Structure 1
Amino acid sequence: MALSMETSLPLSAVVQARSSLSADAAPRHLDPRVSLAVLVMINVQMALSQSLFAEMGVLALTVAAMAYCRRFSAIVRWLAFYALFAVTAQLLVASGSTLLSPFAASLLMYRHVLPAFMFAFNMIATTRLGELACALQAIRVPANVSVAVCVAFRFLPTMGREFSAVADAMKTRGIALTPKSVVCHPAKTAEHFLVPVIARLGQVADELGNAVVVRGVGASAHRTSYYRLMICAVDVACLIAAMALLALSACFRAGVL
């Protein structure tokens, strides 16, 4: 009976139900072309103005983009880092110590550029490599630049795993990567950590570059793509907000506001 009831359903209804479920479960993300444009404007804005108001605007825009992409746990982690930098820098400034002032300035700089890193890592986490390649081809980026961007885009998420692998290898050889070892034996620790990391990262970058070239990213002919890019209302709103923040930072830099 159950089998007969299941087979009696129309095939079109089953296909429509499955497509609706897959559409609901699919991760949301901004258009790669919009993400690249917004990332460029955010970096220009960070260089133009040191205004806390403009910085808060970039932070709000980044959090809104991450919330649209449903990356709520990442929002909590990044905001915790931001609050840690901000509170620590203010405590160092309030101490009035001249020895701690360079550390306070460094933390303030990290806090200022952290929203740009947030937006960049959100783009990396939500954009597929094929979508990025399609976007670069759509905006007429040269082939050599496209290859370099695609390799960097694919390479960045692997850095954490490579660092962890080297640290584990150091533990097996009795060289633990701890704050004590860094302070007591800085040269030895740097030698045992940085040399394998640089060698391994160079090997991974070479492998990724070959893989990207084999996929035809550097071909002179027009490449077809599995992905179809479409700019929606959220992309337009994000682009307008970034342009408004950039104009605001330019006004702060010019002394208009």
Structure 2
Amino acid sequence: MAFHFDPRTILYLLVVSQLILFLDNSIFIEMLTVIIFIVPFFISKQMKWGLSIVLVYSLQLFVAFFILPVINNAILLYPLSMIANGFRELISGIIVGIYALKLTHSGEWISLFKKWHFPKFFIVPFSVIFRFFPTMRQDYRQIRNAMAFRGIERGPIAFIKQPVQTFEFILIPLLMNASQVAQDLTISALTKGLSISGKQTSIITLHMTKVDFIYMIIALVPIIICIGEFI
């Protein structure tokens, strides 16, 4: 199994990303932060996600520094500026969020919340929401496979040609199934005893490794640089 960080390390990285966003807005600190936060994908052998984030961030930098300065049309300038500048400022937090959803199991989060004595009205909805979207993604794939089996055209071209039919074959089954999925996941969470009062145990044992502690120190480098500039 590929290495992945402890949930506490992920929460720590999320806090650090927001502190860096608050303290400094220079391109050097931003690039250094993004590089530090992208490395965990390669450590965890998630090369596809790591390279995809590098490509997206590189395109944002290219648009921000080479495309936006030569655009005079406001209709193109504002949306491109939002993508290249607005979303780019939030990319470090987005990277941590992707890592949390992609490589951290819901059981680990629930075990952590139990350990920190989070209230039941938070743990149960979190368990349902965390598993809801992956389940809906699987249903979406099954619907697309069923359309392909019946010879129904699918994909972006099909949406352009026949948008009403595409919505009918994809969106309506998803909406009809969404309430049933939410109900099934809620029953599953309650069956596991998440709503029972009193002390609870978990089969998942969380432990911090040396890599967690080392990376927590490395993540502080941009903050140390920012503080050094203020001093």
What TM-score comes out, normalization by structure 2 length?
Answer: 0.77
Which deviates the most, 230-239 or 29-38? 230-239
2:16 & 2:133 partners in 1: Cα distance?
21
User: Is 1:151 paired with 2:124?
Assistant: no
**Deviation of 1:188 (Å):** 6.8
Q: 2:76 aligns with which of 92, 100, 105?
A: 100
* Alignment RMSD: 3.4
Q: 1:53 aligns with which of 18, 21, 28?
A: 28
Which deviates the most, 26-35 or 119-128? 119-128
User: Is 1:178 paired with 2:156?
Assistant: yes
1:224 & 1:152 partners in 2: Cα distance?
22
Q: 1:197 aligns with which of 154, 174, 183?
A: 174
Q: Is the 8 A contact 1:28 1:69 kept in 2?
A: yes
Amino acid at match of 1:107: I
- Superposed CA deviations along residues 59-99 of structure 1, whole A, max 9, x for unmatched, are 12222222332323331222223223433454541431322
**Deviation of 1:209 (Å):** 2.1
1:105 & 1:81 partners in 2: Cα distance?
15
Query: Any gaps of 5 or more consecutive residues in structure 2?
Result: none
**Deviation of 1:228 (Å):** 1.7
Match runs of 1:53-92 below 5 Å: 53-92=28-67
Which deviates the most, 189-198 or 144-153? 189-198
Q: 1:237 aligns with which of 197, 200, 214?
A: 214
Q: Is the 8 A contact 1:86 1:107 kept in 2?
A: no
Which deviates the most, 65-74 or 217-226? 65-74
Amino acid at match of 2:92: P
What TM-score comes out, normalization by structure 1 length?
Answer: 0.70
In the other structure, the counterpart of 1:207 is 184
1:61 & 1:155 partners in 2: Cα distance?
30
In the other structure, the counterpart of 1:33 is 8
Query: Any gaps of 5 or more consecutive residues in structure 1?
Result: 1-25
Q: Give identity over the alignment, percent.
A: 21
1:198 & 1:248 partners in 2: Cα distance?
49
Match runs of 1:6-25 below 5 Å: none
**Deviation of 1:40 (Å):** 4.0
User: Is 1:224 paired with 2:175?
Assistant: no
Amino acid at match of 1:106: M
Q: How many residues align?
A: 228
